[in-house]
């Protein structure tokens, strides 16, 4: 009986440790506007964010970004996932990164058109 209780305790401990690991605060989804991403880029580097804007692109070198009416911009990766939405207003979720030399970029988890835009 002791061995059985011991195994249950170990299993419960492992499950609790797994649940704790899954609730990493760095995985918290932050709803932010493009102006906030632009003005607080360094503080938000590495954050998981949701934002929205109009998809635009440039051919040479090929890159895609979303922007608002004030031309606040964030580049979007991977290109093949955002390209079908060119010209649309979209809501994106992903990992935001900022580099003084590379700029602002968001690696997509999801993208969806914003209805009525």
pLDDT tens digits, one per residue of 50-78: 999 999 999 988 999 999 999 999 999 99
Can you say whether the dihedral through the CA atoms of 7, 21, 76, 55 is positive or negative?
positive
pLDDT digits (tens, 9 = 90+) for 7-56: 555 554 555 444 444 545 557 999 999 999 999 999 999 999 999 999 99
Can you say whether the dihedral through the CA atoms of 46, 48, 51, 55 is positive or negative?
positive
- Output the pLDDT for position 21: 47
Instruction: Confirm if 108 and 77 have CB atoms less than 8 A apart.
Output: yes
Query: Is 115 strand, coil or helix?
Result: coil
Instruction: Confirm if 57 and 86 have CB atoms less than 8 A apart.
Output: yes
């Amino acid at each position: 009986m002791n061995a059985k209780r011991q195994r249950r305790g170990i299993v419960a401990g492992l499950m609790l440790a797994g649940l704790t690991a899954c609730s990493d605060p760095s995985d918290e989804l932050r709803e932010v506007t493009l102006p906030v991403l632009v003005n607080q880029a360094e503080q938000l580097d590495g954050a998981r964010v949701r934002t929205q804007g109009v998809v635009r692109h440039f051919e040479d070198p090929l890159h895609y970004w979303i922007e608002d009416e004030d031309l606040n911009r964030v580049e979007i990766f991977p290109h093949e996932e955002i390209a079908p939405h060119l010209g649309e207003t979209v809501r994106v979720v992903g990992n935001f990164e900022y580099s003084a030399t590379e700029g602002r970029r968001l690696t997509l988890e999801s993208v969806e058109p914003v209805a009525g835009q």
